[in-house]
Amino acid sequence: MSSKRGNLITSVDGGTAVAPVASESVSDDEQLTVVANDISKAYLLWDSPRDRLKHPLRAALSRWLPIREKAYYHEFWALRDVSLELRKGETLGIIGRNGSGKSTLLQVVCGTLTPTRGEVFTRGRVSALLELGSGFNPEFTGRENVYMNATILGLSRSEIDDRYADIVAFADIGDYIDQPVKAYSSGMFVRLAFAIAAHVDADIMIVDEALAVGDVFFGQKCMRFMRKFRERGSMLFVSHDTGSVINLCDSAILLENGAVKARGSAKDVCQQYLEDMFAARQTIDGVCEPNQVAIAPEVDAMDTVDQRQQYLNVSQFRNDIELFEFDPGSEAFGSGGARIVNVSLCDGGTRAPLSWIVGGERVTVVVEAVTERSLSQPILGFMVKDRLGQVLFSDNTYLTYREHPPGLRAGSGFRARFTFRMPVLPVGEYCIAASVADGTQLEHVQHHWVHEALVFRSHSSSVCTGLMGVPMESIVVERLQTEGDR
């Protein structure tokens, strides 16, 4: 699917045809890049291998002998009458439980799978990142697979030569580029596949759970690329992660048993998906009221700690967070008028550097920088992000020092301390981005922005849903008097 012309893929009652067509024969809307009309896909399931032979033989004999034709199979419909439209600059999320038909739908849109019924139209070059390692020859080296896969996606040999260095740099797998890909880990597979897909100048990008593997650094890089790609292209994005769907997608559809159950804004569809997931896992028939409800004492807000902290600290729910050192070689950008030289997490009281903390503790983020030229209104800030690049929280020094900004000469060293209680984080990898700028909150020059200045890992957590939790000052349950109690 690399042609710049429109492609129409149709199939009726098992017969298939693929033919290039003029775009106006399908739609006069030049903004439409993908149109799927009533897509259905059926698979024939056989009870035993011998039935595959029996079925055509019996069908042939029934034409000449008085034998009734018999079906030795039953149909499984992976998709049923699914329709969607995607326009330039839009990102459409597709969400649903395993087996709902998400991957099948993407394969139909890509043209690698023909529908049983319905039609799909695409306008422009399609770059797809589907099943892990799809389109790779395991016996070929990474270098050879770059040329083969990029050719399949529509690039000429000279175009691949021009982009090869950028592809290798994006994948960042070192000397493994010249090793057979059968020796690659799942993360290296995705790195190379995504790097190729990111450099083919696609009009439509299709991503199927590509960020489920790989480390936090590569996940951040991919999310930055996809956000930038949204400015010029269209994207179909499949994920079980509702946070990334809400963060990345303009709208979404929810698939269930091969059919569209809901469509609308990403937030509304993800809420429906979560409701369905909870409904499938639990049944609530009513609320059993205890005779007495214990009410925990209020905690002084001046020294707030989670009232459950004593229990959490001796359970598997304690939010253990492992910290790593500042990475001066992390990806960064800026005009160069100042540079970040260190980022650390310290004890909120003693300010001693830490290598391990527990969610809910009082901590201090310290950002240190050096000026390369004079700054009249320097601003230091930080941003905590999850492995998909979603910002959990952030802050900077501007509002505190807006009336009396600390002007600095060239060659000055300075730092900012941000003290707060660390939120409770779900298990996973996170990073702190740090920046130094000059100006105001709305108008400033970004001198140095370090994407993954400090990486940390949450090993255990009491958070069951959401991007993060916060320490509770108090949790109180009260029994209300009802008519039946009077």
pLDDT digits (tens, 9 = 90+) for 46-70: 888 887 777 777 777 777 777 776 6
CATH of the domain spanning 320-458, picked from 2.60.40.10, 3.30.479.30, 3.30.70.330, 2.70.50.60: 2.70.50.60
* Interval 110-135 mean pLDDT: 83
**Are the C-beta atoms of 252 and 102 separated by less than 8 Å?**
no
| pLDDT of amino acid 61 | 75
Give first-to-last CA distance, the chain, whole Å. 72
Confidence of residue 486 (pLDDT cuts 50, 70, 90): low
Assign 178 a pLDDT band (cuts: 50, 70, 90): very high
pLDDT of residue 291: 36
Question: How large is the average pLDDT for residues 109-130?
Answer: 88
Residue-wise DSSP of 386-404: ETT--EEEEEESTTTTSSS
Average pLDDT over every residue of 440-460: 90
Is beta strand 234-238 parallel, antiparallel or unpaired with respect to 91-95? parallel
Where in the sequence of the chain do the CATH 3.40.50.300 domains occur?
6-125+202-277
Integer Cα distance of 47 and 391 in angstroms: 50
Q: Which amino acid is at 365?
A: V
Q: What is the DSSP letter of 23?
A: G
In the predicted structure, residue 380 carries a pLDDT above the cut 90: yes
How confident is the model over 212-222, as pLDDT tens digits?
666 777 877 88
Name the pLDDT band for 198 (thresholds 50, 70, 90). confident
Residue 297 makes CB contacts below 8 A (sequence gap 6+) with 307
pLDDT of residue 99: 87
Is 296:307 a contact under the CB 8 Å cutoff?
A: yes
What values do phi and psi take at 117, rounded to 5? -140, 155
Q: Which CATH architecture has domain 6-125+202-277?
A: 3-Layer(aba) Sandwich (3.40)
User: Residue 296: what pLDDT?
Assistant: 37
At 456-485, the pLDDT tens digits run 999 888 887 788 888 777 778 888 887 776
Which of 52-56, 234-238, 259-263 comes out lowest in average pLDDT? 52-56
Q: What is the mean pLDDT of the chain?
A: 81
- Model confidence at 6: pLDDT above 60: no
For the chain, what percent of residues have pLDDT higher than 70? 83
Higher pLDDT, 343 or 428: 343
Closest by CA position to 384, among listed 435, 336, 440, 460: 435
Comma-separated ranges of CATH 2.70.50.60 domains in the chain? 320-458
Choose between 370 and 44: higher pLDDT. 370
- Is 26 a residue whose pLDDT tops 70? no
The whole-number pLDDT of residue 54 equals 78
Residue 449 has pLDDT above 80, yes or no: yes
Share of the chain above pLDDT 90, in %: 34
Residue 127 has pLDDT above 70, yes or no: yes
Confidence of residue 303 (pLDDT cuts 50, 70, 90): low
User: Any bridge partners for residue 218, and if so which?
Assistant: none
**Model pLDDT, residue 53:** 78
Question: Given this model, what pLDDT does residue 20 score?
Answer: 32
Q: Give the model's confidence band at 297: pLDDT under 50 very low, under 70 low, under 90 confident, else very high.
A: very low
Edge-to-edge strand list for the sheet holding 73-87: 15-20, 6-12, 117-123, 32-46, 73-87
Question: Does position 263 have pLDDT exceeding 90, yes or no?
Answer: yes
List all residues 6 or more positions away from 285 whose beta carbon is below 8 Å from its beta carbon. none
- pLDDT at 314 (0 to 100): 60
The reported pLDDT for the residue numbered 212 is 61
pLDDT at position 180: 93
Q: Which of 2-6, 255-259, 294-298 has the highest mean pLDDT?
A: 255-259
- Residue pair 249/91 in contact (Cβ under 8 Å)? The answer is yes
Strand, coil or helix: 88: coil
